[in-house]
Amino acid sequence: MCILRVRGPDFVPEDYLSSAALSPYQVYRRGELCSPTSRPDGPKFDASGFKVSVSDRRWDDLPGQIEDAIEFLQRHRNDLERLRAAPGVVDIRLDFPYELRIDEDNVWAQFDYLPPKLLALAGALGIGIEMSLYPRGRDANDAAGGPATRPV
């Protein structure tokens, strides 16, 4: 369930998206409520941006998410280069949600690897990488505030 997150306080997502092949599942604007169900005085976005699904793989499949992200970066390279230069963009990142495997009985330490190909592609495009570690058994459907619903 890797997600591309793009944001900036002065970014106008529609200006960029009108000529891009990226298909965001959420576009938001600075000052809007973070949740449509929030009270009018609820938390508001402090920047404008959008989110694009990069991988639909499960949280327990980090290698699969990485594979999908590499393919996404290669396929959308031109759009992502234009995005980095878009006015107002201050942060572009790939967010990889994944599960904590430590259980203190069978697993005492957790090591996760990001291959050079992913790091080189993301770095060349000015894209950061965020690793969102969650307790085992949670996913986007039951993790309020998780990657699918988190405001930024």
Provide the domain count of the chain.
Answer: 1
Global pTM reads 0.82
In a domain, 142, yes or no: no
* 84 domain residue, yes or no: yes
What pLDDT is recorded for position 139?
59
> Does residue 141 sit within a domain?
no
**146 within a domain of the structure (yes/no):** no
139 located within any domain: no
β-strands 48-53, 91-99: how paired?
unpaired
pLDDT tens-place string over residues 33-92:
887 776 777 888 889 999 999 999 988 899 999 999 999 999 999 999 999 999 999 999
Domain of residue 71 covers 3-134
Strand (E) or helix (H) holding 98: strand 91-99
CB contact at 8 A, 85 and 74: no
